[in-house]
A and B are shown apart, each in its own frame.
Chain A
Amino acid sequence: MVKDGAIKLTDFIDGEEQTIEFCDEGDVFGVLALLGKRPYILSAKAKENSLIMAVPVGIFDKILKENSQVSLYFASGFASGQVVVRSDLSQTQKVRTLLGNNSHQNGLLLFPGQASINYSQPVIQCRIGDTISKAVAKMSTDKVGSIIIVDENNCPQGIITDKDLRNRLIAKGLPYDTLVEDIMSHPVITAKKDLEFSQIYLNMVKNRLHHLVFTEDGTCQSKLIGIISDHDILLSQGNSPAVLIKALQDSSDVHEIAKLRNQAEGMLIYFLENELAIDFIAGIITEINDTIIQRAIAIAKARHSVDFRDVCDTPFCFLGLGSEGRGEQLLRTDLDNAIVYEDVPAELEEKTRRFMHLMARDIMDILFACGFHSCPAEMMANNPEWCQPLSQWKSYFSHWISKPDQQSLLMASIFFDFRAVAGKVALAEALTEHVYKEIGKERIFLNFFAKNALLNPPPLGFFRNFMVEKSGEHAEKFDIKLRAMMPLADAARVLVLNHQVVGVNNTFKRFEKLAELEPNQAELFKDAGKAYEIFMRIRALEGLSASSSGRFIQPDSLGKLQRQLLKNAFFPIDEIQKILRVRFQLDYFGK
């Protein structure tokens, strides 16, 4: 074990001595031989005066056997000289959870027994063809607010709730012998019962479901086995994301919204500290941010509609860009967004433009009031340049794709991650279609784009230490965004564009998708996705504890384990960049 100094592990490859790995303070080497009880493969040489701790085999074996944390540490490839280029990051994450601090375990548990779900069963149900009066009688005797309608095979076909009875039966003056299928909501959203709680929950929050029905294989073509309602969850959970989102939806007061957003921050800390899956956390936070934007739009639109009666119904779409567009914004960092609206007849152009600008200005003011930061480069909807009709947006994108200079590529890396947050989604879809059409015409653009993705400096120096900033305010700090996250996000974007995949914006979801599309590289892509999640988590925690953007991290402030975790997570970056280099022939590509 290296107490201080630096050791290089070398091997003879083709008769030449080559350095396989560098070990620095706190690294362990030579373990593989011990674990495997075989001779050492690599030679270790001190690069500088080093202090090494030698642990006798007997003592090591005893500790390894008796301490599960130690054995996991070694099992996960933390020790150096294991000659694995990519260590399995899922294992790494497991170790971290295990070795992580337990000080917050006493906090209130948001998801009691979250591994299993307690759905109600048997489910109150009736058959297709039954009358409403029969269904209502059942609901009444069992004291429930909803009933599932099944077919002869016991597969769920629809659901009737108290609200349906009120709105679709009584209000319409229909007779009580109306058949259930005439007023039921259908199709029902179904899920498999062995899904993880967090996934089910996210599903409900996303689709704004009040009820989720479980069937044997997760589709509505199989047998009904259970049901869970948001009410069940709320009752057991108290302060939950669903409650927050509901409260946000009902609020028209900016101060109230700001307060709720602050509350969400507390929830975020709780989620992060309890090691909840990052896609779940990002999903919830994105949903909360989207809801705030939707509220802001509603408020702003109502305020200006009075003066713009003839143009206020022009369809528009609010786009999230950058990390917001990718649905990865955990902290309230800089806003990047834009508005695209439908082209209008020439005589209405000026008025529509004024309306959209006024609305954008108010939306942004509300978001600033909620604690979001403004984008220093003003890539926001309140910048007239980024609040434009569809035709103008199309020409922007065409320009960036056909003239890929430095500026265009920078724009592309921000704007290509757009995501419809509110408004008419079809406008965003039209834009996406346009982008792919243009790229199809100008394939060379992707080569430029790929080259651009390689511009960010590598995260580790020659001696496996962190490349820290040399000067300025953040001297000696590690820029996790620039050196670790951007290379992965950029690479994922290029590769996804190359595959013409639509609608996957998260960097980690993009890697998942890529793993699906390219089975022979699946391992690498999965690792890259997990690495990205690790960076997001570390950055968010840093940001929350330092009340900053979390972008700059002092390597020394991280524990040994966190540092090692970060270093392990860097491995895929290099590999991914190699893929870009080969695939887009960047080594032969003009500088």
Chain B
Amino acid sequence: MDWKSIFGLRPLPKPGYIKAYEQTLLKKTSKAKPIRELDFLVLDTETTGLDVRKDYVLSYGAVQVSNNRMRISESKEFYMRPKKRSKEAVKVHGLIQVRPYISREQLIRSFLEDASNKILVGHHLGFDLAMLEKLGKTLGLKKIKQPSLDTFELAVRLEVGKYHNPNSIAAQDYSLDKLCERYQISLDDRHTAAGDALLTAQLLLKLLKLAERKGIKTFGDLMA
């Protein structure tokens, strides 16, 4: 009997979709590939808070961007069933909307499928990835270690330069709201995961155009 597995001391065998995902990581994108030919997965999560250890994911939204197009028909919007839903809250807020609730496994599976061979993009992406990693941990997902791009960092890099002094940057000037305002993106559907992902995708497109003008033209330039 595999006691170690039963008591969670050793992970269960990895499901096939995680293995498939890990396979894709071996394939490296050529550094010379022009930006306009790159495939991106822009994502956002809404969580109960900002503490990766205590808080958990409520919803997930993702938009694919390839060849400078946002593929709206391929976009995803998922809600995790809340662990405990206070009946009082339902009474007060009337939150009995029917939502596409899915399980942890379904979410991770969908995410990994979409993410394969793509560059992950998000605003303060690190946090979203940490939350997803936590979510996928018990399913056997170790690390999300594919190329990723943080629109926050990209915006700072393009506006202030690569070698800026991080202490001189006021983070609030590079919030998603502020950036959307600056790049003339209308704030529709702000603060839902799917809505924010779409805003981030638009921001990404605008930033990439700006990057091209500044001489950042290839995958290699972008990741440097």
Contacts and interface: CB of A to CB of B under 8 A. Distances in A.
Interface of A: 4, 49, 51, 54, 56
B202 interface: yes
A4 B73 CA distance: 20
A500 B100 CA distance: 73
Contact of B209 (A4, A49, A54, A56): A49
B209 A51 contact: no
Interface of B: 69, 73, 184, 202, 205-206, 209
A56 B73 CA distance: 10
A51 B73 CA distance: 17
Nearest to A48: B209
Contacts of B202: 51
Contacts of A54: 69
Contacts of B209: 49
6 contacts: A4-B184, A49-B206, A49-B209, A51-B205, A54-B69, A56-B73
A576 B81 CA distance: 65
A356 B114 CA distance: 87
A51 B180 CA distance: 14
Contacts of B184: 4
Contacts of A56: 73
B194 to A, nearest CB: 16
Nearest to A52: B69
- 6 A-B pairs with the lowest CB-CB distances in the bound complex, closest first: A49-B209, A4-B184, A51-B202, A51-B205, A49-B206, A56-B73
Contacts of A49: 206, 209
A4 B205 CA distance: 12
Nearest to A59: B73
Contacts of B69: 54
A267 to B, nearest CB: 38
A4 B184 CA distance: 9
Contacts of B73: 56
A450 B73 CA distance: 56
A384 to B, nearest CB: 56
B130 to A, nearest CB: 31
B115 to A, nearest CB: 24
Nearest to B202: A51
B34 to A, nearest CB: 16
A415 B206 CA distance: 55
A420 to B, nearest CB: 54
A568 B206 CA distance: 31
A54 B184 CA distance: 20
A56 B184 CA distance: 25
A30 to B, nearest CB: 16
A49 B184 CA distance: 12
A56 B71 CA distance: 11
A54 B70 CA distance: 10
A3 B205 CA distance: 13
